Amino acid sequence: MRTRIKICGITRVEDATTAVSFGVDAVGLIFYGPSPRAVSIEQAADIADSLPALVHVVGVFVDPNEKEIDTILSKVRLTLLQFHGSESAQFCNGFGVPYIKTLRMSDDADPEIYARSYPQACALLLDTYESERYGGTGSVFPWERAKQCRSSPVIIAGGIDASNVSVALSKSGAYAIDVSSGVETLPGQKDTKKIQSLICAVRDHDQMQKDKDGTD
């Protein structure tokens, strides 16, 4: 199976188009003001309009209100929503757009129980827990904990880059990765060589896994 790749915290058209040219499956646009990677509606619309069909444009939110999301959806071509806060399943289901729910992996977090609380989510995204930050931490969590989740596809995030992505995928069994700080020079500014290196590392991992499965 081919690992899916999302590059999050995109703030510039050129970074989005570069990522897509290397083969990413999705780009993430952050609509959360305190984030150093937050974008305005105008920035987001320009980025979304620059992308071809079949590339997901993911809007990332932290405890938004309904009006905020409705306004953004009316102006930005989002194909997926990603909820990173304490949003209820009823709230997440209310916009007619598929969604991903994030769980920050504190010591007492149980991915399987959490996934069952959001049965209509397309996937569960597991990210490193930090009390004052929502994503983009550059820190990892124990990736093997992702295997606790059996009722939802799993995406992993947090401190992933070209040097550790193969280990992260092997330990987690995740079908997708979500990377932000691991391909940056500065928050919100992506590095072409780091994106390329990440994607090459993922493809090498996938080929290695395919070869292994074919010989077992």
- Active-site residue set: 8, 127
Instruction: Say if strands 123-128 and 99-105 run parallel, antiparallel, or are unpaired.
Output: parallel
Q: What is the 3-state secondary structure (H, E, C) of the chain?
A: CCCEEEECCCCCHHHHHHHHHCCCCEEEEECCCCCCCECCHHHHHHHHHCCCCCCEEEEEECCCCHHHHHHHHHHCCCCEEEECCCCCHHHHHHHCCCEEEEEEECCCCCHHHHHHHCCCCCEEEEEECECCECCCCCCCCCHHHHHHCCCCCEEEECCCCCCCHHHHHHHHCCCEEEECHHHEEECCEECHHHHHHHHHHHHHHHHHHHHHHHHC
Place of tokens 């309009």: 49
